[in-house]
Amino acid sequence: MSIEILIVDDNADIRNILNELILDAGYKTRLAANYNQALKEIDRKLPDIAIFDVKLDKGDNDGIELLSYIKSKNKDVPVIVISGHANIEMAISSLKYGAFEFVEKPFDQARLLNFISRAIENLNLKAQNREYENKLFSSYDLIGNSKNILNIKDKIKKISLTESRVLIYGPSGSGKELIARKIHKNSKRNNKPFIIINGALLDSNKYELELFGEEKNNGSVSYGALEKANKGTLLIDQVSEIPLNIQSKILRVLTDQKFKRLNGSNDINVDVRLICSSSKDLKNEIEVGNFREDLFHRLNVFEINVESLSKRISDIPLLIKYFSKKISENYNIKELDIDENNSYILNHKWQGNVRELRNLIERIAILQPETREKISNIIKESLKNDSFDDKIAENSLSVPLKEARENFEKEYLTIQLKKFNGNISKTANFVGMERSALHRKLKGLGIKEFN
C-alpha cells in the first residue's frame, strides 16, 4: 500500500521539514500552504493521512475546520494536528473533532514518525475489517426456491432502490440479518457503514450509550451506533426488546434526524437508514403495552416475513448443497456428499432454522466422515430427538396395521409435497405414482393440496 500524506502548514520552513522527513521515510506527500489550497487538495483526492496546522490564514483554529471537513468526507482518514500555540483546551478540541493525534511545535521527528506509523496500522486494520465485512456480504446468499424466499428476493430488489425503513419478522436463525445486509448491499448506501445492535443482548442500562454515544468529562467522545452508521444503514435486531423510554427517543431521532449524545449539549445530525428485525409480533407487543404504536408505524414502511425452515422444506436440499460446498471450501476439504433427501433432515423440526442446519453441516465437515453412511450416522445422532422414523414407529405401534399404514402414507406424502413446494407432477414422479392416482390418494387421506 503506497501511503500518501497531505501536509498543510502556512509556514514554508515547517512545510519543507515535514515534507523531507516524510519522503525520507518512504511515503508520498502533497503540500498545501493555506486553507483554500488544502480544501482543493482534499476535494481533488482524499489523502491516506493528513497533517494539519491548527492555525492557518483563514482565522483562529481553521485547521480544526479542515479536520471537520475531511472527516465529513471520510471519517476513517487519520489526521495528525500540530500547533505552535498548544494548550490543553486546543488538544482536547482537536481530539473531540476526530484528530488521530495532537503534536506540539517544535515537534520530535521520531515521535511524529511513530504517530504516522500507528496511523498506517489503523488504516490497515480498518481495511481488513472492510474486507472481512465484504466477505460476510458475499460469503452467504439467500438460498431457496420456496414461494416465501422468492417473494423476499423480489422485495429486496424493490426495497433496495428506496430509502424506506424496513421491518423484518422471522424466528431466530431464519436469516433476518442476511436479508438486512442484502438490502444494504444493493442500496445506494452500499459503500457506507452497516452497523448492527441487538436489543436483546444490550445491558438495560446501556441502551442510550450504545445508540447515542457519550461526551466524557475529559473531552473525549464515545460514538454510538447512530453516528457510526451515519450515511449508511443501522440494523436494530430484536427491536421488541428496546425499553419504552428508549423507544420514544428513537422515535424522536426518526422525526428530527438529530439527537444529543449523553452528557452532550450540541445536536448531532445524522442520515441513517433504519432496518429493524423481530422474532415477536410487534402488533401483539403493542396490545400488551410493550411497544409504542407510533414507533411501529414509523418502522413498518416495508414489511418482510421470513418463514421457519420447517415451513419451507423445499429449500432444505438447496441449502444442504449450498452449505456443503461453502463449508467444504472453508475447511479446504473435499465437498461433503450429503444425501439431500435424508429423512432425518427433511423431517426435523429445525427450531434453530437455517442456522441450525448450517451448524449441522459444519459439524459434519469438522468430523470429516469418509462415507455417506458415516455422514448419515452423524445426522441421525445429531437429530435423533426429533426423527421421522422414531415418530412414525411410536405412532404405529398402538394402532391396527391399516391405520398405521395410513398414518405413514399421510406423513410421507405430506412431507414429499412440502419438499416439492406443492408441485403434484414432481411429487408423483418422485414417489412413483401417476398424477391422477396421487390426486386420489391425497383426497382419500384428507391431505389438502397447495400451490
pLDDT, one tens digit per residue, over 417-445 is 877 778 888 888 877 778 887 888 888 77
Distance CA 408, CA 83 (A): 83
Spans in the chain with pLDDT lower than 50: 136-138, 387-394, 396-398
Question: By the 8 A CB rule, do 304 and 167 touch?
Answer: yes
CATH class of this structure's domain 147-307? alpha beta
Distance CA 183, CA 201 (A): 23
Q: What is the mean pLDDT of the chain?
A: 84
Going by their DSSP bridges, the two strands 79-83 and 166-169 should be labelled as: unpaired
Confidence (pTM): 0.61
Give how far Cα 449 sits from Cα of 33, 206, 420, 438, Å. 78, 51, 12, 11
Distance CA 259, CA 257 (A): 7
* pLDDT for position 59: 63
* pLDDT for position 158: 95
Distance CA 7, CA 14 (A): 10
CATH node for 4-130: 3.40.50.2300
* pLDDT for position 387: 46
The cell numbers describing 189, all together, are 448506501
In CATH, 390-445 is 1.10.10: yes
Stated length of the chain: 451
Classify burial at 181, counting beta carbons within 10 Å of its beta carbon; exposed 0-12, middle 13-18, buried 19 or more: buried
Q: Which fold has domain 310-386?
A: Helicase, Ruva Protein; domain 3 (1.10.8)
For the chain, the structural domain boundaries read: 4-130, 147-307, 310-386, 390-445
The cell numbers describing 225, all together, are 451506533
Tens digits of per-residue pLDDT, 50-73? 998 887 876 665 778 888 888 877
4-130 and 147-307 in the same fold? yes
